[in-house]
Amino acid sequence: MDGVPNHPAADLPTPLPVLQADCANCFALCCVALPFAKSNDFAVNKPAGTPCKNLQQDFRCGIHTRLRDKGFRGCTVFDCFGAGQQTSQVTFGGRDWRTHPGTARQMFEVFPVLRQLHELLFYVSEALTLPAAAPVHAELRRALAETEEWTRADAQALADLDVGPLRQQINTLLLKTSELVRAKAPGRKKNHRGADLMGARLAGADLRGANLRGAYLIAADLSRADLRTADLIGADLRDTNLRGADLRDTIFLTQPQLNAAQGDPTTHIPPTLTRPTHWT
């Protein structure tokens, strides 16, 4: 990618950005920069660049503990992968959009770009922990270094960045990773890539090694399903029943996906993710 200095992937000059949201060090960018439409996830319409009506002067949410009750379930599902604090504290050096209104427009443009970059870092970082993906680890490390370098670019470079080519390059590597990992699963692997499985009855299904990339699993019943080594990148898990399901070795499962689903204490989740507080 033009504009990014080359350096050895194993010799990153700084640690990778934190890939979990740190709201205390963010200027509530998800509450301002992003739009949302009135729906089951949001109680009102809000255009991009306009502060949410629940946002307080100190950048805190006035209904944080009651978001679901107040019709803002979408807020409890969203995760910026750490792009909020990166934008606020690194790209803009701690200058907030209230005190420095001249930064607002560009800050709101940069945040969604950094969010995409951090999401890519999340996936590549996970792929590098998978022994089965060793044949593509060298390429993944190069992609990690390039993406990390972009996260430290200046605001104008980030605002001008077309993430598409980088995302396509990394997706090719993630597909190779998926194939290598899922090949280790026993039996015939189901291919439901991009499938419409909304409301599907898959309770107790053996989905080990399944390709569920981009599948629509909204309100599907996956209770007690075995999803070990299944690829869940981009799968829509809104209101998916995961009670008793085994997701311990799924690949590319994110916290927002878990937050959108329904589970209980018997749901097995990867050790890197957190059990949502609304699960009962």
Same domain? For 136 and 168 the reply is yes
**DSSP string computed for 47-107:** -TTS--TTB-TTS-BTTGGGTTTTT-HHHHH---TTHHHIIIIIITTT--TTT-GGGHHHH
Same domain, 203 and 280: yes
> Is position 2 within any domain?
no
Specify the residue for token string 């998926």.
Answer: 178
Does some domain include residue 260?
yes
Along the 280 residues of the chain, how does pLDDT read in single tens digits?
444 433 333 344 445 678 999 999 999 999 999 999 999 899 999 999 999 999 999 999 999 999 999 999 999 999 999 999 999 999 999 999 999 999 999 999 999 999 999 999 999 999 999 999 999 999 999 999 999 999 999 999 999 999 999 999 999 999 999 999 999 999 999 999 999 999 999 999 999 999 999 999 999 999 999 999 999 999 999 999 999 999 999 999 999 999 999 999 999 999 999 999 889 7
Distance CA 155, CA 161 (A): 10
Q: Domain check: are 26 and 52 in the same one? A: yes
Beta partners for 191?
A: 211
- Residue 96 shares a structural domain with residue 225: no
Q: Looking at the structure, do residues 139 and 229 belong to the same domain, yes or no?
A: no
Single pTM value for the model: 0.91
Domain with 240 in it: 188-280
- Please tell me whether residues 166 and 203 are part of one structural domain: no
SS3 150: helix
> Do 167 and 51 fall within a single domain?
yes
- Split into its structural domains, the chain has a count of 2
